[in-house]
């Protein structure tokens, strides 16, 4: 399997070669040359597999440069009840991504946040940590990860990489924008290989710095800069697995269809759903839900993609989705325009210059229905109302991002098709808003009671790629 860039000007690469880096050298994102196709016989066989077995079956379609026995061992080591198990009947459950039905057989939450940092990012990040370790050991190399977070990728990456030999993590977060719990989760880590940098800006500014550094090829090579955001293909590939697992949990036969509702920001999660559908998973609809930062909803409704600048990006009560420039959207547009790298390059020359593009009058947009997308958005009042509704009607406390998904699901679902809302975080991470909605605190998992009181370690900096590069260089050179 070879990987090509969405901008069409980088040489095809193997999985391990693209695993450690972020953007392709031409500034694009990597995708497989073609999507592996899944047959009916595959689906029948995969229905019976455990999560770790399914992860191996799917990932081995994307990864052909790690020996099968090693890849299997990595999947087995990653997807265990110890890492993802929630407590059921006094013991850790082993189903990794259970479906919590709100309306049996009709509307459910696909639980993705039972991992160590209580958000769906753990699903892929734990695997990435183990893959990095494997490849770095084989090559005798080290890596300096530069990432951007709006609250969840950062802690998932830091928990996956803390203490790992040969790995340093430099994580940029938006100063003052995350919840108190999210800040505490990241900034209280005292591991010597973890560096938290809060930038005076939004997530998009932080992500722009990551891209600027990745596009400085000499610096990237000298300081061995790697990526853990969903610009890294490994993240997206690992996220494909739970769409299959969710489908099997919600159906009895492979003749049925399922719709997925995905709270979205950087378009990584729903991009994985798009890929699962392109592989042949019987998905009826992929329903995208945004918060007040509704750039993606606007595109699916109008054909206009107009990323907002920092001043126009709202700070909301679903802060992890405060994103106005969705990196992975480029992967979908590459498919939409017939995998034409020149066309993508031209469209993103406008985006990268701070502009917009309009596909509304194109035959490609006229045919967008074939990809199965629908979309909607939410806001603070609707979020609070949905959290209350879930509590009162379904006796379930949901987090603010999942609430945006459920709000859109209730508006757009087809009651004849089982619909799974992707549960992207646990409510404990967003306590302030849960208290505002329900008048009581959500339950916290054991051991996290006083996390906000722990000493925190973070450097506050301007959004300045050169200054951040200098900090990384100083740290690496100091050993």
Q: Is 307 in the site for ligand PLP (CB under 6 A)?
A: no
Which region, judged by CB under 6 A, interacts with ligand PLP, from 219-227, 264-272, 330-338, 465-473? 264-272
C-alpha–C-alpha distance, residues 240 and 429, integer Å: 25
Which region, judged by CB under 6 A, interacts with ligand PLP, from 67-75, 84-92, 257-265, 457-465? 257-265
**What one-character DSSP code corresponds to residue 85?**
P
Active site includes 245? no
* CA 7 vs CA 12, 87, 156: distances in Å: 12, 46, 29
Residue 228 near residue 125, CB atoms below 8 Å: yes
Residue 351: is it exposed, middle or buried by C-beta count within 10 angstroms (0-12/13-18/19+)? middle
Question: Which is closer to ligand LJ64HWYM, CB of 5 or CB of 254?
Answer: 5
Q: Is 399 in the site for ligand LJ64HWYM (CB under 6 A)?
A: no
Of residues 376, 377, 397, the one with CA closest to residue 387? 397
Among ligand PLP, ligand LJ64HWYM, none, residue 154 binds (CB under 5-8 Å by kind): ligand LJ64HWYM
Q: Is 153 in the site for ligand LJ64HWYM (CB under 6 A)?
A: yes
Q: Is 396 in the site for ligand LJ64HWYM (CB under 6 A)?
A: no
Residue 466: Cβ within 10 Å count: 11
Count residues near ligand LJ64HWYM (CB under 6 A). Answer: 13
CB of 48 to ligand LJ64HWYM, least distance (A): 30
CB of 113 to ligand PLP, least distance (A): 8
Which phi and psi angles does 336 have, rounded to 5°? Answer: -60, -40
**Positive/negative CA dihedral, 69, 36, 94, 236:** positive
Site for ligand LJ64HWYM in 207-226 (CB under 6 A): none
Q: Is 257 in the site for ligand LJ64HWYM (CB under 6 A)?
A: no
Question: Which is closer to ligand PLP, CB of 133 or CB of 294?
Answer: 294
Question: Which is closer to ligand PLP, CB of 135 or CB of 425?
Answer: 425
Among ligand LJ64HWYM, ligand PLP, none, residue 330 binds (CB under 5-8 Å by kind): none
Chain centroid to CA 426: how far? Answer: 15
Query: What are the residues whose beta carbons fall under 8 Å from the beta carbon of 189, sequence distance 6 or more?
Result: 158, 159, 162, 196, 457
Which region, judged by CB under 6 A, interacts with ligand PLP, from 79-87, 212-220, 267-275, 359-367? 267-275
C-alpha–C-alpha distance, residues 407 and 349, integer Å: 35
C-alpha–C-alpha distance, residues 411 and 408, integer Å: 5
**What one-character DSSP code corresponds to residue 320?**
G
* CA 306 vs CA 46, 76, 200, 244, 373: distances in Å: 40, 42, 23, 32, 18
Q: Which of 72, 121, 220, 407 is catalytic?
A: 121
Q: Which of 56, 181, 187, 267 binds ligand PLP (CB under 6 A)?
A: 267
C-alpha–C-alpha distance, residues 287 and 281, integer Å: 15
Binding site for ligand PLP (CB under 6 A): 119, 151-152, 230, 263-269, 320-321, 401, 424-425
What amino acid positions are annotated as catalytic residues?
121
Binding site for ligand LJ64HWYM (CB under 6 A): 149-154, 203, 229-230, 265-266, 268, 320
């Amino acid at each position: 399997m070879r990987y090509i860039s969405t901008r069409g000007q980088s040489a095809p690469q193997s999985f391990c070669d693209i695993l450690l880096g972020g953007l392709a050298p031409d500034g694009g994102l990597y995708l497989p040359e073609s999507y592996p196709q899944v047959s009916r016989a595959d689906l029948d066989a995969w229905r019976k597999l455990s999560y770790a077995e399914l992860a191996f079956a799917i990932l081995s379609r994307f990864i052909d440069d790690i020996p099968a026995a090693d890849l299997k061992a990595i999947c087995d080591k990653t997807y265990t009840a110890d890492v993802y198990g929630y407590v059921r009947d006094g013991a850790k459950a082993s189903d990794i991504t259970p479906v919590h039905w709100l309306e049996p057989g009709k509307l459910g939450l696909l639980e993705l946040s039972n991992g160590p940092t209580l958000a769906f990012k753990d699903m892929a990040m734990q695997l990435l940590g183990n893959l990095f370790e494997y490849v770095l050991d084989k090559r005798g190399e080290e890596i300096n990860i530069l990432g951007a977070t709006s609250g969840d990728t950062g802690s998932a990456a830091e928990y996956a990489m803390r203490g790992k030999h040969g790995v340093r993590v430099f994580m940029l977060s938006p100063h003052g924008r995350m919840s108190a719990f999210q800040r505490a989760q990241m900034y209280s880590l005292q591991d010597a290989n973890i560096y938290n940098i809060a930038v005076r800006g939004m997530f998009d500014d932080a992500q722009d710095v990551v891209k600027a550094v990745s596009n400085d090829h000499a610096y990237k090579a000298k300081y061995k800069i790697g990526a853990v955001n969903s610009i890294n293909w490994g993240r997206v590939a690992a996220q494909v697995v739970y769409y299959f697992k969710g489908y099997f949990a919600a159906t009895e036969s492979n003749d049925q269809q399922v719709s997925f509702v995905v709270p979205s920001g950087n378009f990584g999660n729903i991009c994985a759903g798009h890929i699962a559908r392109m592989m042949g998973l019987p998905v009826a609809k992929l329903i995208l839900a945004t918060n007040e930062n509704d750039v993606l909803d606007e595109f699916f409704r109008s054909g206009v993609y107009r990323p907002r600048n920092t001043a126009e990006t709202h700070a909301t009560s679903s802060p992890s989705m405060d994103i106005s420039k969705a990196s992975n959207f480029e992967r979908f547009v590459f498919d939409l325009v017939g995998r034409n790298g020149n066309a993508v390059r031209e469209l993103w020359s406008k985006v990268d210059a701070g502009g917009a593009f309009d596909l509304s009058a194109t035959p490609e947009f006229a045919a967008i229905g074939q990809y199965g997308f629908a979309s909607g958005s939410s806001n603070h009042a609707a979020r609070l109302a949905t959290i209350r509704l879930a509590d009162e009607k379904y006796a379930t406390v949901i987090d603010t991002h999942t609430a945006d998904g459920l709000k859109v699901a209730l508006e757009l679902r087809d009651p004849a098709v089982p619909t799974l809302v992707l549960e992207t975080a646990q409510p404990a991470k967003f306590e302030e808003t849960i208290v505002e909605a329900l008048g009581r605190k959500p339950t916290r998992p054991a051991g996290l009671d006083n996390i906000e009181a722990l000493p925190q370690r973070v450097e506050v900096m301007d959004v300045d790629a050169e200054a951040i590069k200098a900090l990384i260089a100083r740290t690496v050179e100091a050993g």
